[in-house]
Structure 1
Amino acid sequence: MHFDPTTLRRDDYGFFGPDSPSWKVWTAPTAVIGFQRAVVLEHFDPFLTAAVADSRGIYSDPRKRLDHTFSYFLIAAIADGRTAIQAAEHLMGIHAPMTGIEPISGNRYSANSPDTQLWIHITGWHSVLKAYEVFGPGLTPEEETRFWQECAIAAELQTCKPEDVPRSRAEVREYYARVRPRLCTSERAEEGMHHLLWTSPRNGAGWSYALGSRLLSLASVATLPKWMRRLGRFDRPGLVDLAVKLPTRVLVWAFARFDSFGLLVAAPFIAPMAGQILKEHLNAAPPARPETITPEQARALHGKRSGRAALV
């Protein structure tokens, strides 16, 4: 995925705008913790694990693969409608050939299937909010209500079925309860989770990225439920969680207090594209039209193909 940082907000404010909780949560220093949390717990879905394991992208070039994924989430949350639609169409094109047989069930998987896309979407949005609550200031009840409404709007960029997308904390809990019976672990799932938490400097990751993943894991693991940690074989004593939380909250406060300067310095070594997006967000001038737009309007104006079926 190519990204020109000068195009982040040329037309409009995108789908949510400056006063939105989505902008607040997705551009906070805690977002990177939430993102690592999301890509780890995603592996409990065997169909997502099969797609990731067969493509091998997180192993051959973890920095690029994860940077692009994180960048897509950021673009959907804070970019203008044109950039978001173009990014979504590009991502669907990348996912289109990612099909195969899931070895546990013997059923076919597709990276673009509505169920898989919903799992990726909800784990991403829920995880960044969880990290924002644990290590940041959290949202007010009114902001959280709006956050989940915005989450549902962002899901329109993917192949998710609108009727399946949760729109409140209670519905998110219901969603996790509904999918939990199909969640499991496996050799390939554990390989993926452990690699994301404790990335090796080999295979192009480099020492800076490997060190970054290990430092982030101290915080991201603390936000995951015990049953997931035991199932994925990365559990640790609760005392470690307690020891991690206060220093992480202090670091998050410091990064937020100084306009994420520390994150921008570290970004080229960990997530260059996401760092560009964040930098442009902080420095962006008002767009040509200081208003928000819907995904449907953005697709009609800027999409290569019209209609949701074109993304499947």
Structure 2
Amino acid sequence: MTKLRRSEVEPHEDYGFFGPGSVVWKVWSFPTAPTVGFQRAVVVEELDPPLVAAVHQTQGIYQRPRTRYDRTLRYFAMVAFGGSREVCKAADILVKVHSKAIGHLPHGEGTYDANDPASQLWIQLTGWHSVLYAYEKYGPGKLTEQEESEYWEACALAAELQTCSPDDVPRTRDGVRAYFERMRPRLSASPIARQAMNHLLTTELVLPPTPRWARPVSKAVARAQRVATIATMPRWMREMAGIRQSRLLDVLIVPVMKVSFALAHLDARVELRLLERLSPSTVSVIAPVRLGVPPRNKEVLTPAEARARYGYAKPAEAHLEFRALQAARVFGEGGAPSDQGLVESQEILGPLA
């Protein structure tokens, strides 16, 4: 069990890329982020054919759903709250991890590459949009106009840690809506997409074993989160994916989740204990922020400043030789890509099993 006494929490090296008082810390530290917000993001993402092909090829969400959820959530939390050095290291190793997810599209012509800028932009925007949407629907409500502008500027800043260009990130809600409208004709609820979406909506898969006496409560919580996540998805998307839920449930789940999240957020230690059940490795990332543990250096950097300081390349330009070798194995030799990136990632993103 994680130690949650303030004096025992390991501080971050610095404030990372956002820091106290930022709208990022405000939105991402609310319990809607690692629950409904994150679940919505990973479910919606599967409608993108190249992305779901990569997910299907690696089989991580099926073979190790708990550790996959844990590692992915830890990375997103690191971007929001982690120290600049460790975030740069995580972003760098993630390029090597994604280099394994390449191949031919199983449905349709063409190839896929998890490092492709278009796929990375889709992940970035579905993630940040979903976390904000969940915060507004089940949390304190809508941001002010100034806060929302800051939020999307921060999203663009965080995109510098992906292989996509921050210039492609919309800076307004209307711009984000326009992006999703442009993407809509390209989305597809293929058999593997439907399989992945329904699998990722099964919250029980990412929870630890529960004592027999507590299973009814655990099942009820998991069911409530599933209902709440589906309620955030537009009707056209649900119909495309074959996901059904009544409008009545959409309405009834709102007050239940608003009260539940508000109560959980009252006590930081309770909130962190609940997070520990969902994503143990994410607790050490968020605990310093929620418990008010200052970093060793009270500074906020930009990703460019951090890369220059610590010697990392831009993600789009990182590990090009290794990525070329991976492509040669898969497309040239018809073999399997190396797991080297996954193995190396355990040091910073957590164990694979």
Could you tell me the TM-score, scaled by structure 1's length? 0.91
Identical-pair percentage: 41
Asked if the contact 2:161/2:314 (under 8 Å) is kept, the reply is: no
The residue number in structure 2 matching 1:296 is 304
SS in 2 for 1:109: strand
**What one-letter code is carried by the residue in structure 1 that aligns with 2:152?**
W
- CA shift for structure 1 position 276: 2.6
- CA shift for structure 1 position 268: 3.0
**What one-letter code is carried by the residue in structure 1 that aligns with 2:266?**
R
Superposition pairs of residues 194-233 of structure 1, within 5 angstroms: 194-198=198-202, 201=205, 207-208=209-210, 211=219, 213-233=222-242
The residue number in structure 2 matching 1:90 is 93
| CA RMSD, 1 decimal | 2.1
- CA shift for structure 1 position 291: 2.2
Aligned residues: 304
The residue number in structure 2 matching 1:280 is 288
Q: Using the TM superposition, name which of 206-215 and 124-133 deviates more.
A: 206-215
Q: Which runs of 4+ in 1 moved over 6 A?
A: none
User: Which whole-Å CA distance do the structure 2 matches of 1:29 and 1:131 have between them?
Assistant: 10
The residue number in structure 2 matching 1:243 is 252
CA radius of gyration, larger in? 2
Gaps of 5+ in 1: none
Superposition pairs of residues 1-312 of structure 1, within 5 angstroms: 9-10=12-13, 12-31=14-33, 32-138=35-141, 139-198=143-202, 201=205, 207-208=209-210, 211=219, 213-259=222-268, 261-283=269-291, 285-305=293-313, 308-310=316-318
Asked if the contact 2:45/2:126 (under 8 Å) is kept, the reply is: yes
Asked if the contact 2:44/2:197 (under 8 Å) is kept, the reply is: yes
Distance 1:87 1:307, change over 3 A: closer
**What one-letter code is carried by the residue in structure 2 that aligns with 1:237?**
S
Deviations, residues 62-116 of structure 1 (Å, cap 9, x unaligned): 1110111111111011112111101111211111121001122221100011000
Distance 1:241 1:64, change over 3 A: same
SS in 2 for 1:100: strand
User: Which whole-Å CA distance do the structure 1 matches of 2:319 and 2:25 have between them?
Assistant: 25
Asked if the contact 2:11/2:294 (under 8 Å) is kept, the reply is: no
Distance 1:182 1:78, change over 3 A: same
Could you tell me the TM-score, scaled by structure 2's length? 0.81
User: Which whole-Å CA distance do the structure 2 matches of 1:147 and 1:213 have between them?
Assistant: 29
User: Which whole-Å CA distance do the structure 1 matches of 2:95 and 2:11 have between them?
Assistant: 20
Gaps of 5+ in 2: 1-7, 321-353
Distance 1:151 1:269, change over 3 A: same
**What one-letter code is carried by the residue in structure 2 that aligns with 1:227?**
W
- CA shift for structure 1 position 131: 0.2
Asked if the contact 1:199/1:214 (under 8 Å) is kept, the reply is: yes
